[in-house]
Amino acid sequence: MNFDVYKTTLKSIKCCMLLSFVISSVTIHAQSAHDEGVNLDKIPPRIIRACCAFGYDLKLWGVPFVNIDQVISIDDLGEHHYMGNKSEGTGTIYTNKGGFIDMGHLRDQIDWTRYLYTTILNSRGKGEVILPLRNEAGRKTLYLNVPAQFDNNDCILLAGKIAYDFSLWHEISTWFGASTIPLMSEKFSSFSVEDVYSNLLGVHVGMKALRSKQPFNVAATQIIESTLDSLDVVKTVKETYDAYNAVNNKWYTNKKRIPRKNITLKRDPDVLHSSRPWIIPNQTSNRGNPIILDVPILNTKGELLTGFYQFTIDLNYRFPVEEIFPGHESRIISQDDFGVMLNRITDDLQIMEQNLLAENKESLQK
């Protein structure tokens, strides 16, 4: 007998484990500096909404008779709610110009962009402001030094850049063993082909919502819909299933069980300054070019946004600092070190793919 669990989230997965497009920057009036919807005294969790594993018909190690299905349609999206709501649609949906979009990732980065924007406004002109963050492979800290002359649009761009850095660190840290629940590795989902693109898309949607005259949730809801339309979102659940079927045993496999890392066959760590969508192979349509997303780098005066903040991580002793940073005098790294880590991950992935090819060749010869 087979029991299908539809719309299962990774939050449910973790419980089970415990049991055994470029958005245009049109400048309009930004959200008010006095935002009663944002509680600056409470730092959001790194993962606000349970996100999705890439693929469908996935199985859990140690939990028989459960299949994971997280595919949704545009009719399931619902309204956006800052910091989440059960009525929101989360799951994955395919777009012809943006590939697979993880709506949980997208919504989280919308909200992180809003939270950071409000934090930045509150710190503007106050000199160095230190914001302790939650641990993730080490103690995280954000240092802000926002000039009084920073206008609201510069604050929005800065919020977008920092939000992206936070999301990128999550991918990096999970590759090196960080996890929400002890002993349950999240490496299987690190840098999967939809994750970073969905994160960066959420940053762009969040920045555009902050420039809107409408209330944030209303603006975010409308911009999510228009953004997916601009990416040529598919109209039916079947089309997303078909897209997954086209890349099964190529980008992922449902023959392995979560959380085995080789359930994900393709990953994309080339994401430091931009993210390109992964479009299913041999897609026959005249829908135009895929939409590549750029990371906010400069403010409106052409100054590097990294000159106004520093995001540091005091790495724990499980992290191979000496291997990655020979001669490094401390275990504290910053966003400026992410490029080195991504290069290391790229090398690791090449070795993993070579080993996988060798394993497949050996199994065929038996």
pLDDT of residue 329: 85
Question: Nearest Cα to 334, choosing from 181, 139, 197?
Answer: 139
Considering only CA atoms, which of 54, 189, 133, 64 is closest in space to residue 313? 133
Question: What distance in Å separates the CA atoms of residue 120 and residue 101, rounded to the nearest whole number?
Answer: 28
pLDDT in tens, 258-298: 556 677 889 999 999 999 999 998 765 567 789 999 999 99
Q: What is the mean pLDDT of residues 184-213?
A: 90
Evaluate if residue 35 carries a pLDDT over 90: no
For the cut 80, the answer to whether the pLDDT of residue 57 exceeds it is no
pLDDT of residue 11: 42
State both tokens at 316: 């724990």
Task: Kindly report the pTM of this predicted structure.
Answer: 0.86
Q: What is residue 253's predicted lDDT score, i.e. its pLDDT?
A: 80
Please, what is the Cα angle at 103 between 197 and 76, to 5 degrees?
145
